[in-house]
Amino acid sequence: MSYSNKRLSLVAAACALVSTHAFAEDSSLTNPNISAVLDGFYQTGDRGLGGRNEGFGLGETELAISANIDDMFYGKVTAILESHDGETEIELEEAFIQTMGLPGGLGIRAGRFLSDVGYLNNQHLHTDAFVDRPGAYRAFMGGHYFDDGVRLTYVAPTDLYWTMGVEAFKGDKMRAEDEHGERDFDTVGVYSAFTKFGGDIGLSSSWQVGLSYLRNSNGQGVVEGEDEHEHDVIADDDHDHEGHTHSASYTGENTYIADFVYKWAPNGNYKYQHLTVSGEYFRVNDIFSFEEEHDHEEHDDHGEESHNDYHEGWYLSSVYQFSPNWSAGLRYGEVDTFEAHGDHLDAQKLKETELSLAWHHSHFSTVRLQYTNQKGTNFDGFEDDNIVTLQYVMTLGAHGAHQF
């Protein structure tokens, strides 16, 4: 072998060693994180607004793969499988790229992902301390709102944690009903803006508050005059109140969300004991557009006339982990909505009280027993009921840390 060829070989070997060393420093470049989350349950009754149904069933089975693409980008793909009415449905929940290390505290995410409005929405369902999302989420966000779009975020260089962002989405899941197939929907239908503040209180406590606004260009339902066909204005055509789709049940043009969370753990050590208190309030305005000029009437659950042209909902939750393996939770929430019938609006109300007891053998396995008391007024096919649910949530493979 000539000297020049030997030198080239040594250079190639050195480059290979450098490349191998670089990949070794970040193992996710060659070994992506792959995980599955199994969710099974038995339930004694049907939950309203697209909650789980009576009997044995499967919740969301999640299959996820994620990795750093290189030193500038991160990527993730998440597919979810659900069983409903004897059929298995599969949907792509996430498929996005995320920038890493942009200057000035900026970040960009593009593809399909969970919106960052509110507190719970950007978290996967299996991270919840209760069997189902609160009624307000099931009514206004389809459980959790994910869509195709783009997000720009900014983290301010302040002592107090302060982040803000804007998003633009396709918005198909947030469309109002188009009974006759005649509406001309915007192709980019949803825009959102949010800001979140947070900080510590001594060594043991931390908090975060957030404000969000969601503009839904296709969210306002059309109510026809008295001589036209009466219909219910809910979500788009493929939605069923009792189904397991991820479309919003009740829509409007403007949605406002306020959220907060407070966490406590002795000296900041969450392993043995901690408390989480959280809550959110939703208000959905400009929900109907009346085709004909007339004074529409709205009636509450007592048949009396009211004048609230908006939906609203809220919940308050407290979860206490009193030992490394046991936690208990209490949650109460209400949803107030309107259905359109001809030229008048009928008020609807849902109240849910939930108690949960969970056993965690590890971070990867949870068995939960939950009692739910639900009371509904004027919801079609809805029954007041006391429901007991036994659920397991098991995680296989590498899984990232949960959000705050």
- Is 164 part of any domain? yes
Q: What is the C-alpha to C-alpha distance for residues 312 and 217, in angstroms, rounded to an integer?
A: 19
Residue owning tokens 């000296």 = 267
Residue 92 within any structural domain of the chain: no
Structure tokens that stand for 189 in this block: 């239908």
Domain assignment present for residue 305? The answer is yes
Q: How many domains does the chain have?
A: 1
In a domain, 36, yes or no: no
Kindly state whether residue 137 falls inside one of the protein's structural domains.
yes
The answer to the question of residue 262 being in a domain is yes
CA–CA separation, 266 vs 264, rounded Å? 7
- Cβ-in-10-Å burial (0-12, 13-18, 19+) of 270 comes to middle
Domain extent, residue 255, equals 97-397
Residue 177 lies in a domain: yes
Decide: 317 and 129 in contact? Cβ < 8 Å: yes
pLDDT tens, the chain, 404 aa long: 444 444 434 434 444 443 434 444 555 566 799 999 999 999 999 998 889 999 999 999 999 999 999 999 999 999 999 877 777 889 999 999 999 989 999 999 999 999 999 999 999 999 999 999 999 999 999 999 999 999 999 999 999 999 999 999 999 999 988 766 778 899 999 999 999 999 999 999 999 999 999 999 999 887 765 544 444 444 443 444 444 457 899 999 999 999 999 999 999 888 889 999 999 999 999 998 765 544 445 555 444 444 468 999 999 999 999 999 999 999 999 999 998 776 678 899 999 999 999 999 998 999 999 999 999 988 877 889 999 999 999 999 877 666 77
Give the CATH number, domain containing residue 387.
2.40.160
Q: Give a yes or no: residue 14 inside a domain.
A: no
